[in-house]
Structure 1
Amino acid sequence: MAAVTAASSSDYRLTVIQILWRAFLLPSAVAPSLLLPLLLLTILSTSLLFLSAYSISPSLLDLLSRLSPLLRGDPPPPAFLDLRRALLADLRAIARVAAPSAVLFFLASLLLTLAVLYTLAITYSSHSGVSPSQLLRRIARRWYQTLITRLYVLILTLGLALLTSLTLAALVLALDAAAEAVAGAVAVPAALLYLYLSTRWWISLVVTAVEETWGIGALSWSVELFIGNKKRGTALTLLLKSVQLGILAALGVALATASAGPPGPPPPPPEKQMLLWAAAAAATALWEMFSMAAYAVFYDECRKSHGLELDKIKYEALI
C-alpha cells in the first residue's frame, strides 16, 4: 500500500509555469500580520544593499577608469607608482563604506531567508499557517544552522567563481587567444553549471529552514531530492535569475540615461538617482520573496517526486 501511495503521489508533476503560478498565489495564504512585516523587512534589507552600492559607485567608477588602460593591455604609464597608490586609495575607500553594510546585509538576509522560507514552505506543504510566536521560536532554534548552511553556499559560490576565472586564464595562456574569444566558450558551460548548483543550494536552505538537518547534511539531502528534478529545477532558476538580471540591467540603463541627459544642462540631481536605486531595491526585494516562494513549492515537488508525502504533525513538532 505504501508503494502504491508513493507511486501515485509522483505520477503528476507540476510544470515550471505551474510552480511559478502557485508561488505567485502562495503569499496570499500567509496571514497579513506576518506577511507585511516580512515584506517590509525584506525591502529594508535589500535597500541597505543598494544604498551601499550607491555609496561606493563614485569610487568604483574611478577605480574602473584607472584600471581600464591596464585591462586593455596598454603598457604601464610612467607614473605607475602614483597609479598604484590611487588604486589602493580607491580600494580602501570602497572597503570602508561597503564592509559594514555588507556585514549588516548578510546578517539581515540570513534571518529573513530563514523566516520567509520557513513561513512559505510550511504554509504550502502542511496547508496551515504559522503564527508570529511560532516563527520567532523557529528562528531562535535554527539561525545558527542556517548560518552554517549559508556559509557553505557562499564558499561554494566563491569556489565556482574562482574555478571559472582560473579556467579562463589557463585557456587564454594555453591557446594564446584573446580573453573575449575564450570567455564566450567558457561562459555558457559555467552559467549552466551555476544554474544547476544554485538550485540545489537553494533547496538546501529550504531543507535547513524546514527540516532538522543542516550544513553538509542539508546539501547532501538536496542532492537526493534533486534526482529526477534537474531539468525543472535548472529551468526554474534560469527564469528567476533572468528576471533578477533584467532588473539590474534596467537600473543600469536608467542610470546611464539619466546621467547622459541632453547636452548643455547639468547632470540630474542625486535625488533622481536615489529614486532609481530605491525603485530597483523594491523590485529586487519583491522578486526575491517570489523566488523563495517558488523554491518552497519546488521543494515540496521534489519530496513528492520521491514519494515523501509531507506530514503536518511532523512539521508542527518542528516549530
Structure 2
Amino acid sequence: MGLSSKSMAAASDRLVLPQILWESSKLPIKSGQLFFPLLFLSLLSSSLLFFCYYSIAPIPLDLASKISILVKETKHRPPDLLTHMENDLKDFASISSVLVLFFFSFSLFLTLATMYTFAMAYTGSSLTPQDLLLRIARRWYQTMVTKLYVALLTIGLGVLSSLGVGTVMLLSGGSQVVFGVGVTLAFVSLFLYIYLLTRWSMSLVIAAVEETWGIGALSWAVELYIGNKRRGMVLTLMLAVVKVAIYGGFAAVVMSSGPEPSGTPMSLTYVVGAANAVWDLYSMAVYTVFYYECRKSHGLDYAGLSAALVKINAVIY
C-alpha cells in the first residue's frame, strides 16, 4: 500500500495541534445519540476497573506482609507461612486472570465501537445503531488481533526497558556517571514508548475503519506516520500526562488514606472513574482525527475511504 505523490501538496492543509484537539472535542456531538451508549459503557468499564481495587488490593498487601515476615524472621516464622503465601498467589492469579480477560474483551468492544463511530462522525457519514453492531460483528476478530499485537509489543518494550534500566542502576555501585547513564536510558525508553504508542494507537483506528488488520494495520500506521511524527508524539505526550495525573491523584489519596483499601473515599473512586472514562473516549477521538490527518498529509482522501466502506458493508451485510 504505497503513499500518494500528492503528499507535498496536502501538507499545507494539515491541522495544527490545537485544531486537532478542537476537532476531537466536537466528535461526541457529531456522533449524535450513539455517543451516549458509548459514554455509559466507558463509565461502567472505568468504574469497574477502580472498584476492583477494593477486591484485589488486600491480596497483594497480605502477600507483601508475609514476604516481609519471611525475609525478616529467621527463627520465629509461622509454620504454615509458605502455604499461606502459595494460597495468596493462587487467589491473586485466578482473580487477576479473570479480570484481565473481562477488561480486555470490554475494551475491545468499546475501542472498536468508539473509533468507528467517531470515524463516521468525522467524515460526515451516517451511521445507525444497526450498522454499528454489524460492523462490530464483522471486525471484532481483526481488531482483537491488532490489539493483541499492541499489547504484546507494549509488554515487550516495558520488560526490555525495565531490565536495561534496572541492570544499569544495579551496576552503578554509587558511580554518578553510571547512574546518569541509567537515567538517560530511562528517558530514551520513555521517548521510544511515546513514539511507538502513537503508531500503535493509530493501528487500532486502521483496524476499526479500514479492511487491513494485524501486521498490515501496524505497517500501514508506520507509513502514515511518516512526516507526522512531531504532531503525533506531542499529542500522545499530552494525553499521557493527563492520564498519569488522573492515576497519580488517585494513588496519592490512597496512600494518604492508609494501607487498607477501605480507607479510600468512595466519592474519589466515582470521580476518578468518571474522569478516566471521559479521557479514554477523548483520547480515541484524538487518534481518530490524527489518523485522518495523516491520510490527508499523504494526499489520501478520507471521504473516498468512507464511501468505499459504506459500499463494502452494504454488499457484505
Are 2:106 and 1:108 aligned? yes
Aligned to 1:280, which of 257, 272, 281?
272
Identity of aligned residues (%): 44
Distance of 2:179 and 2:37 partners within structure 1: 45
Secondary structure in 1 aligned to 2:57? helix
* Counterpart for residue 26 of structure 2: 25
Structure 2 CA distance, aligned partners of 1:111 and 1:120?
A: 14
Which residue number corresponds to residue 201 of structure 2? 202
Q: What is the deviation of 1:78? A: 1.1
Q: Which runs of 5+ in 1 are unaligned?
A: 261-266
Aligned to 2:10: 9
Distance 1:176 1:69, change over 3 A: farther
**What is the match of residue 123 of structure 1?**
121
Which residue identity is paired with 2:74?
P
Offset of residue 177 of structure 1: 4.8
**Number of equivalenced pairs:** 304
Work out whether residues 5 and 298 of structure 2, in 8 Å CA contact, stay in contact via their aligned partners in 1: no
Q: Distance in 1 between matches of 2:46 and 2:194?
A: 22
Paired position in structure 2 for 1:263: none
Aligned to 1:93: 91
Structure 1 residue 108: Cα displacement: 0.8
Give 1:236's aligned residue: 235
Change (3 A) 1:288 1:180: farther
Q: CA deviation at 1:67?
A: 5.2
Equivalent residue for 1:60? 60
Q: Distance in 1 between matches of 2:207 and 2:69?
A: 46
Q: CA offset at residue 99 of structure 1?
A: 2.2
Amino acid at match of 2:283: S
Q: Deviations over 1:24-57 (max 9, x none)?
A: 111110112x110111011112222222222111
Q: Which moved more, 1:56-65 or 1:283-292?
A: 56-65
How far is 1:18 from its partner? 1.7
* Cα displacement (A) at 1:277: 1.8
Matched, 1:39 2:43: no
1:79-98: CA deviation from partner (whole Å, max 9, x where unpaired): 57966555434322322332
Shift of 1:281: 1.4
> What is the letter of the counterpart of residue 139 of structure 2?
R
Q: 1:13 to 1:181 in 2, by over 3 A?
A: same
2:20 alignment partner AA: I
CA 1:82/1:170 → structure 2, altered by over 3 Å: closer, same or farther?
farther
Unmatched tracts of structure 2, length 5 or more: none
Q: Distance in 2 between matches of 1:305 and 1:68?
A: 56
Q: TM-score, normalised by structure 2?
A: 0.86
Which position in structure 2 is the counterpart of 1:166?
A: 163
Report if the CA contact (8 A) 1:9-1:304 is conserved.
yes
Determine if the alignment matches structure 1 residue 289 to structure 2 residue 281: yes
Q: Contact 1:13–1:301 at 8 Å: present in 2 too?
A: yes
Partner SS, residue 116 of structure 2:
helix
- Pair 190,120 (structure 1): closer, same or farther in 2 beyond 3 Å: same
Deviation string 1:168-225 (CA, Å, 9 cap, x unpaired) is: 2432454445898765333211111111111100010000000000000000000000
- Aligned partner letter, 1:130: L
Q: What residue in structure 1 maps to residue 311 of structure 2?
A: 317
Alignment RMSD, CA only?
2.8
1:307 to 2:299 alignment:
yes
Aligned to 1:264: none
1:298 alignment partner in structure 2: 290
User: Is the contact between residue 24 and residue 293 of structure 1 (CA under 8 Å) also seen in structure 2?
Assistant: yes
Determine the C-alpha separation between the residues in 1 that align with 2:225 and 2:289.
13
Instruction: State the alpha-carbon separation in 2 of the partners of residues 99 and 45 from structure 1.
Output: 16
| Structure 1 residue 157: Cα displacement | 0.7
Alpha-carbon offset, residue 142 of structure 1: 0.4
1:68-113 residue CA offsets vs partner (Å, 9 max, x unmatched): 799xxxx764157966555434322322332222211110110110
Selected match of 2:138 from 102, 119, 141: 141
Equivalence for 2:248: 249
Residue type of the partner of 1:16? L
Q: In the TM superposition, what is the alpha-carbon distance from 1:65 to its structure 2 partner?
A: 4.5
Q: Which amino acid aligns with 2:29?
A: S
TM-score, L = length of structure 1: 0.86
Paired residue for 2:148?
151
